[in-house]
Amino acid sequence: MLSKLIKYEFKSTRRIFLPALGVLLLLSLVNAIFIALPETALEHVSAPFGIIMTVYVLSMFAVCVLSFAYMINRFYKNLLGDEGYLMFTLPVRPSELIWAKCIASTVWMIVTGIVCMISLFILVMPISMISTVDFDFWQSIQLVFSQMLRNYGAHLFLVPLELIVLGIASVISFCMNIYACLSLGSLANKHRLGFAFVAYLIFGVVQQIVLLITTWVWNLLNIDMTFFNNLNAMAQMHIALLGWLLITVVWIAINFIITNYILSKHLNLQ
């Protein structure tokens, strides 16, 4: 049933995201065409170019805000608003509803980030093509990659893979944190979003307190770090990334448990 919920989420959200991301790519392409023009020709279209570039910058900002705002709106309206009366009559567990929203939001946030980077790449390409400096972009990339492969070997692929996994986990953690705050805010009869914002601030403070306490206990116990310090830089990086991933997974679990418990035991629809 979870797969059907995820499919429904993408079907409902793609009507918003696909046109918005498509417009962003189109604007970057149009701006790239303007940039590729000779300086003499560009002077005659400087006003349209300035307008389109401004629209492009605003569009990039808008799609980033859209992925964040739509993530909050979908969860709040579908599960905590009037639509919740229908959603919770479905033969599914609250946990499945939560994960369907989270997976869809995570994917759209990642896709938005990738599309933004692609649009910037499209925008920069004409600059490298018309540059008067004798510089082969792709050959330089190949040389740098070959050198790094000789120096780091398999670590060159492992570290980016770990960073990608950590990045995905961080987005999931962010979504779950917002869901937990919205769920806590729903317990109030009035000013729900205000209470959700306060809960978000409290979560941030709690995380910092836990970090400070952990650091204090670590220093107090005076744990021997000789083994870690004797490792090479790559091994230390792997351990640090895996430790950070473990902490992120723990926060995901905590936020999920809070959200699932409230939606299962203390659901308060508006």
pLDDT along the chain (270 residues), means of 10: 85 88 92 79 75 89 89 87 82 90 92 92 73 54 64 68 91 94 88 88 88 78 63 75 90 94 82
Residues 22 and 55 in one domain: yes
35 and 87, same domain (yes or no): yes
pLDDT the model gives residue 192: 85
Based on the domain organization, do 157 and 122 belong to the same domain?
no
Query: What number of other Cβ atoms are within 10 A of residue 178's Cβ?
Result: 23
Q: Report yes or no on 144 lying in a domain.
A: no
Q: What pLDDT is stored for residue 132 in this prediction?
A: 47
How far is C-alpha 76 from the chain's CA centre? 19
Same domain, 113 and 161: no
Closest residue by Cα to residue 173 from 256, 242, 66, 258: 256
Q: In the listed set 109, 135, 161, which residue is the last one of a domain according to the structure?
A: 135
Question: Do 252 and 197 reside in the same domain of the chain?
Answer: yes
3 domain-assigned: no
> Does residue 218 share a domain with residue 129?
no
Instruction: Return the pLDDT at 235.
Output: 75
Whether 31 maps to a domain, the answer reads yes
My answer on whether 156 and 127 are in the same domain is no
Domain boundary among 135, 165, 189: 135
Measured CA to CA in angstroms, residue 234 lies from 27, 162, 247 at distances of: 41, 12, 20
**Residue 148 to residue 241: CA distance in whole angstroms:** 20
Q: What is the pTM of this model?
A: 0.81
Total structural domains within the chain: 2
- Confidence at residue 50, expressed as pLDDT on a 0 to 100 scale: 83
My answer on whether 125 and 206 are in the same domain is no
Do both 101 and 170 map to the same domain?
A: no
Structural domain of residue 122, as residue ranges?
Answer: 10-135
Residues in the chain: 270
Asked whether residue 264 falls in the same domain as residue 162, the answer is yes
